[in-house]
């Protein structure tokens, strides 16, 4: 053996070649990029977003470029790309581009302007409603998942009920009984706080033991609330509330948000339940981190994935719900335009002016489709099981 043949690994060993390091973002982008439909969805969503924002600027203010509210009865039901009849119009009534891009509706309003205005409204309705529902869902789901095993004592249940009852009575002006009940609650709270300081008894009397017994766990409580909410058919609930409350865009957004958090709660709870048992949580606890920090910095980022997916799909469904409500007459009140408005308006003229139905309908279809595709693409990317399958 040639002594001069130098050994490669003398005091250390050579590192085997490593695969290129990819950050999570790059990995995500690459996986997502393989799904063409999802990319298309994202693209359309961005397009929609830009339209909505520019539409907002172009149609708002007192002298907007595209005026959605300008009524020109003499020009009603003109088809798309029709030239305006310049003789019958005043100068400020002539549409901006010199042509009715998408025709006019039964009041002579430019459909294109209304669509632009409606884009922003649909977008806001979708995002705000889903934002509310996701916030509630994460909150409820997180508490149920993380603190699920904590129990609520019987006396706590009792005096919460009494508090609600008392407040309710106060609200409907049954002041005397209401005040009495509220005072009793306060007294009980003081008493229990004091008693804890001074209690040295070894034996707890039977009544006290019963009051301190565990009534129900936090998890059960929250899941029962979810069950109760699920008992109401959602569309009816929305319909009921919207019909009974004064019509306004904010009411609709809030109501849709308040009635669709149950799914998110279930997802978040399931994720929390499984993540809570993992070692990294035990490690964090062993380090002495507060519960708050563990939940928000450690568990939450892992649990976010299904929430994002359901949020995206939730936006799609919120837009469809708003359209449905408009169809039934409970949508955003006129003269504000939403795509649902235009669509439901158009149903009366379906044979004379089909563009009034088709244009918003197809627009809603494309936007909702893009959200759904994007959401499904997200789900495929974030699903660890599907990832292994190639």
Partner 1 sequence: MIDERTTHDKPLLCVENLKVYFQSNGERAHAVDGISFEVREKETVCIVGESGCGKTVSALSILGLIPTPPGEIVDGQIIFSGQNLIKLDEKSMQKIRGNHISMVFQEPLTSLNPVLTIGDQIGEAVYTHKQIEPEALFQYCVQLLNDVGIPSPKQRLSDYPHQLSGGQRQRVMIAMALACDPDLIIADEPTTALDVTVQAQILALLRSIQKKRSMSVLYISHDLGVVSAIANRIYVMYAGIMVEQGNTDQIFRSARHPYTQGLLASLPSLSKRGKRLHSIPGSVPNPAYKPTGCPFHPRCSHAILSCREEFPEMCDYSEGHQARCPILFKSKGYKESSPPQRAGKDSKGQVIRHKTGG
Partner 2 sequence: MLSFIGRSIVQKTITLFFVSIVSFLIIHLAPGSPSQVDPLNPKFTPEMVERFQKEFHLDRPLYIQYIYFYRDLFTGKTVSWKDNQSVLKKIWERFLNSLPLFVVGTLITWTLSFPVGIRSAIFRGGIYDRSATFISYVLISIPGFFFAYVLIIFVVTYLHVPVIGLETFGIGDAPATYLFMDRIWHLLLPSMLGATGGIAVLSRYVRSQMLEVEGQDYIRTARAKGLPPEQVHYKHALRNALLPFVTMFGLILPGLIGGSVIIESIFSWPGMGRMAYEAILARDYPIILTVNFVSAVLVLAGTFISDLLYLVVDPRIRL
Which positions lie near partner 1, rule CB under 8 A? 1, 3, 5-11, 13-19, 30, 389-390
Of 330, 327, 318, whose CA–CA distance to 348 is shortest?
327
Minimum distance of partner 1 from residue 23's CB (angstroms):
14
Closer residue to partner 1 (CB): 35 or 117:
35
> How is residue 37 written in tokens?
């439909």
Closer residue to partner 2 (CB): 51 or 368:
368
Q: Alpha-carbon distance 219 to 141, whole Å?
A: 9
Minimum distance of partner 1 from residue 21's CB (angstroms):
12
Single residue of 31, 37, 39, 158 touching partner 2 by CB under 8 A: 37
E strands within 102-221?
Answer: 151-153, 214-217
Question: Which residues are CB-contacts of 64 (< 8 A; sequence separation ≥ 6)?
Answer: 58, 113
* DSSP summary character for residue 71: -
Q: For residues 65 and 47, is the Cβ–Cβ distance under 8 A?
A: no
Single residue of 48, 357, 378, 381 touching partner 2 by CB under 8 A: 357
Site string for partner 2, 306-335 (x = CB under 8 A): ----------x---x--xx--xx-------
Q: Tell me the β-bridge partners of 221.
A: none
Closer residue to partner 1 (CB): 83 or 387:
387
* Greatest Cα pair distance in the chain: 107
Q: Does 47 bind partner 2 (CB under 8 A)?
A: no
Site string for partner 2, 170-199 (x = CB under 8 A): --x-x-------------------------
Q: For residues 348 and 364, is the Cβ–Cβ distance under 8 A?
A: no
Minimum distance of partner 2 from residue 358's CB (angstroms):
8
Minimum distance of partner 2 from residue 221's CB (angstroms):
11
DSSP H helices, 199-353, are 206-211, 218-231, 234-244, 249-259, 262-276, 279-286, 291-293, 300-328, 339-346
Minimum distance of partner 1 from residue 380's CB (angstroms):
14
Residue 390, contacted partner among partner 2, partner 1, none, CB below 5-8 A by kind:
partner 1
Roughly how many angstroms between the first and final C-alpha of the chain, as a whole number? 48
Residue 15, contacted partner among partner 1, partner 2, none, CB below 5-8 A by kind:
partner 1
Residue 246, contacted partner among partner 1, partner 2, none, CB below 5-8 A by kind:
partner 2
3-class state of residue 76 by DSSP: coil
Question: Which residues are CB-contacts of 263 (< 8 A; sequence separation ≥ 6)?
Answer: 137, 310, 314
> How is residue 56 written in tokens?
């907002």
Residue 7, contacted partner among partner 2, partner 1, none, CB below 5-8 A by kind:
partner 1
CA dihedral sign of residues 318, 323, 329, 331 = positive
Closer residue to partner 1 (CB): 10 or 23:
10
Site stretch for partner 2 (CB under 8 A), options 145-153, 207-215, 282-290, 358-366: 358-366
Site string for partner 2, 228-257 (x = CB under 8 A): x-xxxx-xx--xxx-xxxx-----------
Q: Does 80 bind partner 2 (CB under 8 A)?
A: no
> How is residue 177 written in tokens?
């009984």
Q: Alpha-carbon distance 332 to 123, whole Å?
A: 13
Q: Does 343 bind partner 2 (CB under 8 A)?
A: yes
Place of tokens 């998408």: 102
* Backbone angles phi and psi of 152, in degrees to 5: -105, 135
Binding stretches for partner 2 (CB under 8 A): 37, 172, 174, 224, 227-228, 230-233, 235-236, 239-241, 243-246, 316, 320, 323-324, 327-328, 340, 343-344, 347, 350-351, 357, 361, 364-365, 368-369, 371-373, 376, 385-386, 389
């Amino acid at each position: 053996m040639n002594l001069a043949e130098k050994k490669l690994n003398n005091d250390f060993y050579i590192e085997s070649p490593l695969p290129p390091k990819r950050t999570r973002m790059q990995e995500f982008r690459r996986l997502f990029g393989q799904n063409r439909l999802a990319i298309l969805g994202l693209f359309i969503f961005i397009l929609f977003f830009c339209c909505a924002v520019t539409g907002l600027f172009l149609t708002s203010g007192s002298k907007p470029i595209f005026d959605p509210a300008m009524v020109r009865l003499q020009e009603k039901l003109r088809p798309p790309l029709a030239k305006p009849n310049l003789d019958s119009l005043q100068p400020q009534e002539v549409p901006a581009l010199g042509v009715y891009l998408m025709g006019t509706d039964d009041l002579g309003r430019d459909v294109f302007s209304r669509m632009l205005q409606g884009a922003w409204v649909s977008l806001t309705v979708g995002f705000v409603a889903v934002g509310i529902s996701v916030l509630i869902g994460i909150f409820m789901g997180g508490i149920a998942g993380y603190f699920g095993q904590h129990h609520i004592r019987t006396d706590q249940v009792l005096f919460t009920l009494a508090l609600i009852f008392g407040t309710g009575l106060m609200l409907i002006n049954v002041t005397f009984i209401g005040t009495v009940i509220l005072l009793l609650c306060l007294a009980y709270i003081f008493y229990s706080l004091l008693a804890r300081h001074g209690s040295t008894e070894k034996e707890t009397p039977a009544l006290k033991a019963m009051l301190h017994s565990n009534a129900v766990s936090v998890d059960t409580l929250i899941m029962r609330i979810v069950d109760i909410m699920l008992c109401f058919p959602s569309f009816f609930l929305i319909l009921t509330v919207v019909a009974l409350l004064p019509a306004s865009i904010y009411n609709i957004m809030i109501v849709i948000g308040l009635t669709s958090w149950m799914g998110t709660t279930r997802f978040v709870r399931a994720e929390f339940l499984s993540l809570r048992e993992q070692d990294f949580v035990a490690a964090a606890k062993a380090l002495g981190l507060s519960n708050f920090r563990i939940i928000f910095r450690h568990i939450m980022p892992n649990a976010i994935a299904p929430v994002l997916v359901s949020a995206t799909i939730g936006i799609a469904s919120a837009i469809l719900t708003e359209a449905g409500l408009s169809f039934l007459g409970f949508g955003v009140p006129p003269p504000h335009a939403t795509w649902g408005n235009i669509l439901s308006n158009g149903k009366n003229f379906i044979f004379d002016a089909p563009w009034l139905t088709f244009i918003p309908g197809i627009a809603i279809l494309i936007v909702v489709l893009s959200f759904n595709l994007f959401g499904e693409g997200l789900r495929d990317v974030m699903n660890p099981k599907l990832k292994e399958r190639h």
